Structure 1
């Protein structure tokens, strides 16, 4: 925020975590509060020395080698801040990716037979190397993604936290015994790795989503082929380079980069190749529904998160929660709140406070520590936001602030926007905007708020604010979403499960449940002489 003072921001951040010193801040907490860190310097976030050798790679990593692909074609990577070319990356296709799948398939046997302690040690080494390189990784992420630098560095710490967690979880895969109904038989239940995992990483959180998927896969004993996102390929390959330096064996972790024209072919390969046992995908609902092969699949798809403000809510918490839930990464998050349902008794005051916040946000260079809103990722994203806002305006919505492109800042910037007068015929009420836009809707009763919040085919995250403890429990149980934020909007950490209801996905990532996506259950019946 333009008006942020370092001291006040740090105090707000620390008090929100009930921390008595910076040393007590966890990686996940720092990431989840990163919008409040607009005035923190890189020294505040990390003080380690950057490794002398740059982590940026243009090649893909297959079977322990950096390769250019058969055709040695290149595609360009752009900085969304100003459209400048960051560099060129080799464009691999499905046939190139097949070599990575074959390598992972061959490596699966030896890797799955390693002890959990051995896999744990390698994951922890990878985690440690990421922490040593936060400054370079954070700047690399910000340059290709456009999120403010504090958020970029926060995401790197968030990504590292999954490797820390799963390095320990690798040693906690427990079997069990079950009593048969006859005396001469015993059963042993084993949990075993499913095999090769095909992993598709999104552009909006290319570091955090890579480790949230790869961490449990490797911990479980699976091998992996990652398809990096077309818009942000550098940070995933940098993380894989650190995995290589950590000693992950050849063939165990592979990554391929490609242009948008080759993405569908690689996705189809993951879906159809019998050597790929499970597919983990984060992206849109429309793409996620295309998986048709019978195999393990984990889908983390889009959301349309409501945020409910009841009359008893603490408005200061609502405002700070809005900063993270709506404006992190310029609203480009699957759990980003979009439809704000505000009860009539607090409506005017809440709109006033949220408007003040929205107007105070500074758009600008993501590398500037005072910037809180960066650019959208590309022209398609910008055009979608503009189309949805214009549709709402044409059908009678009122623009309280923002409402148009910020061409004075850059080609891909859209003003932080607050809309009221939202009606059912407006597309923006029903479609994920993926941009810095808030829809404000007035409601009367708790029942109405729950009904309207649940009136969606998606159910990834839902948020609400109330000081009534009984209401908190009622609403928490009634909302149809996999992630519920009650008086808080920081709903993701390495220790907790992440996933949705309805069309928002299948399976869970994170926590002990994230391991289950890469394990299969084997029942062994043993006949004995009594």
Structure 2
């Protein structure tokens, strides 16, 4: 079946439709394919190989073969390769952003923003490649010296999500390549083409065959393919970004053979505004964080807590500013709020909004329902031909801690405002979740600010700051939001290294 590409590229070579293994574009052994659907129109516009477990060994054997050479490559050379990749991605930034928009639905301006954010990782990890250092010391025992050397752990597997597919690949692969590891990526079924474009540019940059492999697959085959990749005996490291439920399954599979894994999982992030906060500052940070990619970010403002003294005023400010968002296809000029990426997201969002209203919340903006046509989506993940997966931004007030939106991650353009009275009360509510990815607090009381930093249970705390994710700072959560860190000085590359301790005994006297 032939497909019509709904956009034009300056560099058409970026669009690759096959999996990438050992420098070659390959089909699935079964010969099967799956469709890539534009969330903004619900129309399929491409197809990729539907790889299964039988396709795994060839890719991992390739990764292992490449690792034998790439793992001992001079760090300067690895840095040069990462920088060459960085430069090629920069040159093709506009084209990749278009592909990203038609895979995820996010507005073109947001897609370009993700590319800018993502390029921070290749730039950063090119430098980190040459900053991997060991240590030497004099122990308590006489005539001895101890030293630590760091070496790449081996072939890695990356399982990446659809909401930020460029950033997640570059953040994981950048750290792996800096350490000297090879990587096989399984992109999300919704977003395989952006990953394949990165593989193409990695090849153009000069990465040896097998260093960066990509296996695409459908939603149906994702569990079996992922399991086969994780359990392959030559894979030494697994990195996963996605839901807590799936993260627990990944951890269990890794535990069978004690494989090292990094898990960046779901968030249920509180956004707290105290009476003394600069409300304009808080609003600007909230708007950029909450409605980005139609609310589909793990670090989005999931629960908006506003102190009683400014609750009504801030509610009005949020409603008035949100009304100015322009909903539409991500490729249309001026769109500031695109569709959700999958029809499954609409089903969950509708259920959360309905639960809130049933339990006493008031809907002050939007309907909490999928737009006409889109609401027919059945949650199967398959295109239904109903014109895209849209929901107008929905705002609810009078929220309470027993509602679904307080207890579950919201991955849609739905916002609930909770009124609180005291600092102790809001800290208790904010921490009353199994997750702990990010938290945000806005106040001009410096003592309270420090208390928020220490008392909020999250791996990342924004203090008068919304989104703070950057290549130079560690990214990761606590509790059921996962473990391990991505990005940051030393820590991200350390996830792909093993440390060896050597002890040397010296004969003779000084």
Is the contact made by 2:56 and 2:229 (CA closer than 8 Å) also made in structure 1?
A: no
Q: 2:304 aligns with which of 332, 335, 340?
A: 340
Partner of 2:498: 520
Alignment RMSD (CA, Å): 1.4
- Per-residue CA shift, 1:74-118, capped at 9, x if unaligned? 100100001111111111112212211111111111101110000
Secondary structure at the aligned position of 1:494 is classed as: coil
Name 1:317's counterpart in structure 2.
Answer: 281
Say whether the 8 Å CA contact 1:50–1:133 is kept in structure 2: no
Structure 2 match to 1:404: 369
Tell me if structure 2 keeps the 8 A contact 1:339–1:439. Answer: yes
**What is residue 456 of structure 2 aligned with on the other side?**
479
1:447-506 deviation line (CA, Å, top 9, x unaligned) = 111111111110001011111122111111111111111111121011111000100011
Aligned to 1:11: none
CA distance in 2, matches of 1:368, 1:407: 19
1:100 aligns to 2:59 (yes or no): yes
**Structure 2: unaligned runs, 5 residues or longer:** 1-7, 375-386
8 Å CA contact retained: 2:453, 2:461: yes
The Cα of 1:234 is off from its aligned counterpart by 0.5
2:130, 2:495 → 1: CA distance?
16
Partner of 2:479: 502
Does 2:415 match 1:438? Answer: yes
Cα deviation, residue 408, structure 1: 7.3
Whether contact under 8 Å (1:50, 1:132) holds in the other structure is: no
Question: Helix, strand or coil for the counterpart of 2:71?
Answer: helix
**Residue 452 (structure 1) aligns with:** 429
| Secondary structure of 1:345 counterpart | helix
Alignment correspondent of 1:28? none
Distance 2:120 2:333 in 1: 24
> Who is 2:121 aligned against?
162
Shift of 1:51: 5.0
**Cα gap change, 1:83 to 1:53, in 2 (>3 Å):** closer
CA distance in 2, matches of 1:119, 1:257: 26
Distance 1:263 1:98 in 2: 16
Q: Is the 8 A contact 2:157 2:239 kept in 1?
A: yes
Partner of 1:44: none
Separation in 1, partners of 2:27, 2:452: 53
Q: 5 Å matches for 1:190-229?
A: 190-229=149-188
Q: Deviations over 1:93-151 (max 9, x none)?
A: 12212211111111111101110000000000000000000111001100111000000
Cα offsets for 1:318-368 (capped at 9, x unmatched)? 111111111000000000111111101111111110111222211112112
For residues 161 and 457 of structure 2, the distance between their equivalents in structure 1, rounded to whole angstroms, comes to: 24
Residue in structure 2 matching 1:492, options 463, 469, 473? 469
Aligned to 1:301: 265
Counterpart among 227, 236, 239 of residue 277 in structure 1: 236
Native 8 Å contact 1:70 1:96 kept in 2? yes
User: Which stretches of structure 1, 4 residues or more, deviate above 3 A after TM superposition?
Assistant: 49-53, 408-411
Match of 1:111 in 2: 70
1:511 to 482, 488, 493: 488
1:207 offset after TM fit, Å? 0.1
TM-score (norm 1): 0.89
Q: Decide which moves more: 510-519 or 121-130.
A: 510-519
- Counterpart Cα distance in 2 of 1:125 and 1:53: 20
CA distance in 2, matches of 1:163, 1:468: 38
Q: Is the 8 A contact 1:150 1:369 kept in 2?
A: no
